[in-house]
């Protein structure tokens, strides 16, 4: 329950942050927040759980490379079983008209709570998002991810999740 309160405070505080008018002109829509909800470990009938999350991307840190447009991301998710995952990593973005394909890789720390035992504190999330531009500053999307500890622990059951995403640039 405490993790849910912390996430709620983070979400509300992100809306309360304000920039001076001059700063808004200089930093025009350079921060992207993604709010998402879905099903954690949908492929395990015994431990599936609803999840909510928040992800941050600073578009000032984007770099065009031979692999595409890369940027760092940071986020947190919690489940209704009080499991949590805090992560930071990298994502690539490929645009085809109004469609965006965004694969990412993020190592992070997993807290089991009353949820599924994934076998280790350190877990790795591989994800693929597909989103559609709604406007210049917002997108709506769907994503699938897999959490795994890469056999660092005694067991490595993994977790497959899907989410519906809303992206907003500030």
Whether 104 and 127 have beta carbons less than 8 Å apart is answered as yes
Q: What is the mean pLDDT of residues 80-96?
A: 96
| pLDDT (0 to 100) of residue 29 | 67
Q: What is the mean pLDDT of residues 124-143?
A: 97
| pLDDT (0 to 100) of residue 59 | 81
pLDDT band at 84 (very low <50, low <70, confident <90, very high): very high
Does pLDDT of 20 surpass 90? Answer: no
What are the counts of helices (DSSP H) followed by strands (DSSP E) for the chain? 2, 9
Query: 161 burial class (0-12, 13-18, 19+ CB within 10 angstroms)?
Result: buried
pLDDT band at 58 (very low <50, low <70, confident <90, very high): confident
pTM, to two decimals: 0.81
> How far are the Cα atoms of 56, 107, 163 from residue 14, in angstroms, in the given order?
10, 23, 21
Q: What is the mean pLDDT of residues 30-40?
A: 95
| pLDDT (0 to 100) of residue 26 | 43
As a whole number, the mean pLDDT across the chain is 87
Query: 70 burial class (0-12, 13-18, 19+ CB within 10 angstroms)?
Result: middle
| pLDDT (0 to 100) of residue 24 | 40
Instruction: Spell out the domains of the chain, with CATH numbers in brackets.
Output: 2-169 (2.40.160.20)
Q: What is the mean pLDDT of residues 17-31?
A: 49
Does pLDDT of 124 surpass 80? Answer: yes
Q: Which residue has the higher pLDDT, 23 or 60?
A: 60
């Amino acid at each position: 329950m405490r993790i849910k309160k912390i996430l709620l405070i983070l979400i509300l505080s992100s809306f309360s942050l304000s920039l001076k008018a001059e700063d808004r002109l200089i930093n025009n829509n350079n921060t992207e927040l993604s709010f998402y909800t879905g099903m954690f470990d949908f492929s395990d009938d015994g431990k599936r759980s609803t999840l909510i999350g928040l992800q941050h991307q600073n578009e000032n840190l984007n770099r065009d490379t031979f692999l595409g447009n890369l940027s760092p991301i940071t986020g947190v998710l919690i489940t209704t079983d009080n499991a949590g995952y805090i992560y930071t990593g990298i994502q690539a973005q490929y645009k085809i008209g109004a469609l965006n394909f965004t694969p990412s890789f993020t190592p992070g720390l997993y807290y089991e709570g009353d949820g599924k035992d994934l076998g280790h504190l350190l877990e790795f999330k591989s994800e693929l998002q597909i989103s559609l531009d709604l406007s210049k500053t917002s997108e709506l999307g769907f994503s699938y991810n897999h959490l795994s500890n890469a056999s660092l622990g005694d067991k490595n059951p993994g977790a497959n999740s899907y989410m519906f995403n809303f992206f907003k640039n500030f």
